[in-house]
Amino acid sequence: MTQNHPALDRAHEHAARWLEGLDTRAVNATATLEQMRARLGVPLEEHGTDPVQIVDDLAAATEGGLLGSPSGRFFAWVIGGTLQSALAADWLTSAWDQNAGLFATSPASAVAEEVAGAWLLDLLELPRDASFAFVTGCQMAHVTALAAAREGVLRDAGWNATQDGLFGAPRIRVLANATRHDSVDRALRFLGIGERALIEIPTDGDGRVTEASLRSTLEADSGPTIVVLAAGDLNTGVFDSFRTLIPIAKAAGAWVHVDGAFGLMARASKSKRHMLDGVDLADSWAADAHKWLNVPYDSGVAIVRDREAHYNAMTVHASYLEASHEVRDEIDYNPEFSRRARGFALYAALRELGREGLSTLIDRCCAHCHAIVTGIGALPGAEMLWEPELDQGLVRFLDPRPGATDADHDARTDAVITAINATGEAFFAGVTWNGRRAMRVSVVNWRTNETDVARTIAATQRAIAELAR
């Protein structure tokens, strides 16, 4: 307990209560929009409010408006939890309040990032001399890595993108599969490459780019080319065949970028590593740390083989910035200027887990995902659409009426998802997969355990029964 920081003590109490309540509180939001607006929408007063009061008010006002996404029974989107050391390091990061733009503004942060970056390259078996940047999430990892890609492919075409921009530059084409994450498209918008530069590579029904489709898409045109492959399809978690595809793309002179938001971390698992065979042949990789590495939000990583292209795309020259060749200044690789010292949480998570811990965390999540999907798939009125090989699986729910159509099954699937979420026991989201509505099951949270799996299947069974009445 501190004497001079009562608001911090109070915040700690609220935080501990929140974490300890994750197993018992509703996973869904139970407060209405009107309630949230009424509670939070207080007038901004002329004079300030006591910090302890603010912390208490915030905890009271947000009650029911926070999702239990850090709990072990949240399976929507791809959302991880927070390891204890990572959360603690994140608190310290806020208290230390460092500007992690330069070594000069926070030597400890710069070195923690240097060390954590080297650990990650080692764990993921990526080129040890690759450059990296700790960014806010996979979206900004795409922006960072694809800015380096833009720099690299245009440099090879005799054009200096840093100096001359894109007006008059050779046109870049970007080849990516149809089920790619939308953050790739948005990164291309941010970078001035534009969504129209995207050419979709046909995939097989499971979401994998095939050798023939990559070849024919590459051969259809020429010029500076970026190929985006997936380390973990959004819906099925499957990986592209890197060992086969990357050499084909490289032979055509392309820069290969890998979206590994969640899946890249599977390379740290001894039993899953083979699924990513050859991923190290790519030129850049984007991943999240707030997913499978279970650090708090605001944590992604961009990794680039061509350090020079990365550096040229990001570095800043200003007379008031102290540059040194001996140290790693984050600003040389990151898109931000001032930035949070987000490397501390990542450093802490990697130490808490260790190599073995990360490997077993990944395997455990995959096993729980498999148990949930097969368990739900075996319930009357449910059907498994994708049996997980990794952390992602798909099920749907069938309308029991005779003559029910696909549209009826789609409506039933959405209704069951809503009914499960309303129980507060578990939380899922829907997706349209190969033309059908499905419930996506994603497990990347260290907290999920056998009890959560059993509670989730039971809640699903109750929701199906409830709808049948």
Q: How far apart are CA 198 and CA 225, in angstroms?
A: 10
Q: Which is nearer to ligand PLP, 288 or 452 (CB)?
A: 288
Q: How far apart are CA 25 and CA 36, in angstroms?
A: 18
CA-based nearest residue to 427, from 69, 49, 64, 40: 69
Task: Report the nearest approach of ligand PLP to the CB of residue 290 (Å).
Answer: 6
Phi, psi of 351 (to 5 degrees): -70, -40
Q: How far apart are CA 28 and CA 420, in angstroms?
A: 10
Locate 222 and state its tokens. 């020429």
Task: Report the nearest approach of ligand PLP to the CB of residue 234 (Å).
Answer: 5
Torsion of CA 440, 441, 444, 448, to 10 degrees: 150
> DSSP 3-state assignment of 264?
helix
Task: Report the nearest approach of ligand PLP to the CB of residue 295 (Å).
Answer: 12
Q: Which is nearer to ligand PLP, 105 or 144 (CB)?
A: 144
Q: Which is nearer to ligand PLP, 87 or 382 (CB)?
A: 87
For the chain, report the end-to-end CA distance as a whole number of angstroms: 54
Q: Are 342 and 134 in contact (CB under 8 A)?
A: yes
- The residue number with the shortest CB distance to ligand PLP is 137
Q: Which is nearer to ligand PLP, 102 or 289 (CB)?
A: 289
Q: Which is nearer to ligand PLP, 77 or 311 (CB)?
A: 77
Q: How far apart are CA 462 and CA 278, in angstroms?
A: 44
Q: Which residues contact 4 (CB under 8 A, 6 or more apart)?
A: none
Q: How far apart are CA 167 and CA 171, in angstroms?
A: 10
Phi, psi of 145 (to 5 degrees): -70, -40
Q: Which is nearer to ligand PLP, 245 or 379 (CB)?
A: 245
Give how far Cα 247 sits from Cα of 152, 188, 242, Å: 17, 24, 8
Q: How far apart are CA 451 and CA 298, in angstroms?
A: 29
Q: Which is nearer to ligand PLP, 280 or 288 (CB)?
A: 288
Q: Which is nearer to ligand PLP, 98 or 144 (CB)?
A: 144
Q: Which is nearer to ligand PLP, 161 or 234 (CB)?
A: 234
Task: Report the nearest approach of ligand PLP to the CB of residue 235 (Å).
Answer: 10
Task: Report the nearest approach of ligand PLP to the CB of residue 159 (Å).
Answer: 28
Q: Which is nearer to ligand PLP, 78 or 345 (CB)?
A: 78
Task: Report the nearest approach of ligand PLP to the CB of residue 231 (Å).
Answer: 8
Q: How far apart are CA 399 and CA 397, in angstroms?
A: 7
Q: How far apart are CA 341 and CA 319, in angstroms?
A: 23
Task: Report the nearest approach of ligand PLP to the CB of residue 163 (Å).
Answer: 29
Counts of helices then strands in the chain (DSSP H, E): 14, 11
Task: Report the nearest approach of ligand PLP to the CB of residue 192 (Å).
Answer: 20
Q: How far apart are CA 250 and CA 459, in angstroms?
A: 49
Task: Report the nearest approach of ligand PLP to the CB of residue 265 (Å).
Answer: 12
Task: Report the nearest approach of ligand PLP to the CB of residue 240 (Å).
Answer: 12
Q: Which is nearer to ligand PLP, 298 or 332 (CB)?
A: 298
DSSP 170: P
Locate 424 and state its tokens. 């507060």
Task: Report the nearest approach of ligand PLP to the CB of residue 144 (Å).
Answer: 12
300-304 and 284-288 beta bridge pairing: antiparallel
DSSP annotation string for 108-121: HHHHHHHHHHHHHH
Locate 35 and state its tokens. 């309630």
Q: Are 199 and 249 in contact (CB under 8 A)?
A: no
Q: Which is nearer to ligand PLP, 106 or 183 (CB)?
A: 183
Task: Report the nearest approach of ligand PLP to the CB of residue 104 (Å).
Answer: 29
Name the residues that contact ligand PLP, by CB under 6 A. 77-78, 137-139, 181, 183, 232, 234, 259, 261-262, 288, 300
